[in-house]
Amino acid sequence: MTDQNPIIVWFRQDLRLADNPALAHAAASGQPVLPVYVLDDITQGAWRMGSATRWWLHHSLMHLSAALERLGSALLLLRGPGDVVIEDLAERIGAAEVVWNRCYEPYAIERDSRLKAALKGRIKASSFKAGLLNEPWEVLSGAGTAYKVFTPYWRACLSVTDPQPPLPAPERLIPCPDRPAGDSLSDWALLPTSPDWAGGLRRTWADGVGVGEAAASARLAQFLSHGASNYAAGRDVPGIDGTSRLSPHLHFGEISPRQVWHAAKQAGAKASESFQAQMDSFLREIGWREFCHGLLYHFPHMPERPLAPQFEAFPWASDDAALSAWQRGRTGYPIIDAGMRQLWETGWMHNRVRMIVGSLLVKHLLLPWQAGQDWFWDTLVDADLANNAAGWQWIGGCGADAAPYFRVFNPILQGQKFDPDGRYVRQWLPELKHLPDKYIHAPWTAPPMVLRGAGIMLGRDYPAPVIDHALGRQRALDAFAAMRGDPVEPD
């Protein structure tokens, strides 16, 4: 090998220049650098990216490509099974080394292992930690096993987590002299055409300007300077901008958890004890993300099967009409329907509302958590295999550190508690905007005169509840008792 043999940097869930260990390693070598992104729908199988994430990917790759060009390089786009494509490319260009940042999905681990084995003895292959603060095998219980309860896991993390400062972006890259031809981004047809359902995504994320590394950094700075001072309480109120909304940026690696960690710690160090407490609460959510990725690493069946094996026998229902009503935001429960319409419009949903809509699906409607997981997978711009699976298993009472199945969220009380003035409901359900606060979370309880005054006819302008809360709750408890084989007393 000579100094002219290029290094391939295989971009995956790390679409950024700063704090990118694989890219920094290649840039520091002094050799030509060939940045590559492979659209791999083959290896991902059933977990190929959903429609909303493909929309996001299109814009993220546009930003990454432009940023690399400013450094003197160009992003090569290829398509196919990632390990096969990268091995073939490395041989064609006589690569000195192939580098990437690690992913933790089961298919990614198998794919990357195949590539390392294929290149062994011929071309050097190196992988780096970039997407997590701690590797899944670095934080284990005293017995050497994976944690399945979050609080002791996070306590253990805090005892060992001292992230190094984020790496700066390279100042320049030496381009690969014999760069092969690749695809154009338009070849991949990641954006919808007919029908074009992405108008809401374009409005929400500034027509793609709100995507990418620069947007992620700007969003973090805005949150720390404006939204973080009341985070612990504000994060539960969907009608305000009380969360960081960094989840899609973290999923695509447009910002690293190490960057978030240090920015939050620095902001807290300059502020009051109260603000520091808010930052601790915020970083706890970064910890939950780490916890989910650890679960997926140690329990790779998590997206398909419950971690609590007794739930394999749960008597789930099959009801296409109820599932459709839930997906379309037509359940008759305003807090549920507002969340589902926010999801369809923006590709994102407030975390508190994610729990409420999930509870209705798996408990009131007795539909399997996998049905909710699959819908989120296709419609969320932050669809992350670890977070999505762990979150739905938590909701379904069958996962790690899960809420007991027999605790059934009351969608009326949840709306009244977390959206007391109906701001969130009115934003996403304009047909209810004239309904008084007293009835905004239970329109069917409003007197006929009030409904007429608000311009609402139930069943025409807004549906009646798809199921009565008390009936749905009891049905869930009965199903849980049937699974256990004995009666269950609720809390």
Kindly write down the DSSP assignment for every residue of 435-472, as one continuous string.
Answer: S-GGGTT-GGGS-HHHHHHTT--BTTTBPPPSS-HHHH
Which pLDDT belongs to residue 270?
Answer: 82
221/87 same-domain check: no
Given a cut of 60, whether residue 390 has pLDDT beyond it is yes
Residue 351 a catalytic site member: yes
Specify if 137 maps to a domain: yes
124/158 same-domain check: no
The CATH number assigned to the domain holding 293 equals 1.25.40.80
Residue 442 sits at the vertex; the CA angle it makes with 436 and 446, to the nearest 5 degrees, is 55
Q: Which residues lie below 8 Å from residue 74, measured CB to CB, with a gap of 6+? A: 35, 65, 68, 175, 179
Distances from the Cα of 299 to the Cα of 253, 379, 400, angstroms:
23, 25, 10
Out of 79, 104, 130, a domain closes at 130
Which pLDDT belongs to residue 485?
Answer: 78
461-485: pLDDT as tens digits: 999 999 999 999 999 999 999 998 7
Q: Quick one: tokens of 477?
A: 């408890």
Specify if 177 maps to a domain: no
Which pLDDT belongs to residue 405?
Answer: 83
Out of 239, 271, 298, a domain closes at 298
Instruction: Please say whether the beta carbons of 126 and 97 come within 8 A.
Output: yes
Residue 219 sits at the vertex; the CA angle it makes with 73 and 154, to the nearest 5 degrees, is 100
65/86 same-domain check: yes
288/335 same-domain check: no
User: Left (φ > 0), alpha (ψ -120 to 50) or beta: where does 485 sit?
Assistant: left
Q: Which domain holds residue 236?
A: 132-165+210-298
Residue 380 sits at the vertex; the CA angle it makes with 378 and 382, to the nearest 5 degrees, is 125
340/471 same-domain check: yes
Average pLDDT over residues 50-63: 98
Given a cut of 60, whether residue 148 has pLDDT beyond it is yes
Residue 392 a catalytic site member: yes
Residue 326 a catalytic site member: no
Catalytic residue among 5, 138, 345, 351: 351
105/146 same-domain check: no
- Average pLDDT of every residue of the chain: 95
Catalytic residue among 285, 345, 431, 444: 285
Name the domain count of the chain. Answer: 3
Angle in degrees, 0-180, between the axes of helices 334-346 and 411-418, rounded to the nearest 10? 70
308-367: pLDDT as tens digits: 999 999 999 999 999 999 999 999 999 999 999 999 999 999 999 999 999 999 999 999
Residues in the chain: 491
Given a cut of 90, whether residue 123 has pLDDT beyond it is yes
The CATH number assigned to the domain holding 479 equals 1.10.579.10
| Closest to 292 measured CA to CA, from 422, 157, 136, 127 | 136
228/146 same-domain check: yes
Specify if 2 maps to a domain: no
316/384 same-domain check: yes
Out of 107, 130, 153, a domain closes at 130
Given a cut of 80, whether residue 373 has pLDDT beyond it is yes
Catalytic residue among 392, 394, 410, 428: 392
| Closest to 448 measured CA to CA, from 438, 458, 459 | 458
Residue 444 a catalytic site member: no
> What is the C-alpha separation between 440 and 419, in angstroms, rounded?
10
Which pLDDT belongs to residue 491?
Answer: 42
Through-space distance between the first and last CA atoms of the chain, rounded to whole angstroms = 68
Catalytic residue among 10, 47, 56, 288: 288
Residue 288 a catalytic site member: yes
Instruction: Please say whether the beta carbons of 56 and 380 come within 8 A.
Output: no
> What is the C-alpha separation between 423 and 91, in angstroms, rounded?
58
DSSP class of 133: S
Catalytic residue among 5, 138, 230, 316: 316
Kindly write down the DSSP assignment for every residue of 68-84, as one continuous string.
Answer: HHHTT---EEEES-HHH
346/413 same-domain check: yes
In DSSP terms, 79 is beta-bridged to 39
Q: Which residues lie below 8 Å from residue 182, measured CB to CB, with a gap of 6+? A: 76, 77, 78
| Closest to 129 measured CA to CA, from 30, 258, 31, 263 | 258
> pTM of this prediction?
0.95
Given a cut of 90, whether residue 265 has pLDDT beyond it is yes
Specify if 176 maps to a domain: no
151/120 same-domain check: no
Residue 316 a catalytic site member: yes
User: Which secondary structure element, helix H or strand E, spans residue 402, and what is its range?
Assistant: none
105/159 same-domain check: no
Specify if 239 maps to a domain: yes
Specify if 458 maps to a domain: yes
Specify if 179 maps to a domain: no
Specify if 106 maps to a domain: yes
341/467 same-domain check: yes
Which pLDDT belongs to residue 490?
Answer: 44
The CATH number assigned to the domain holding 25 equals 3.40.50.620
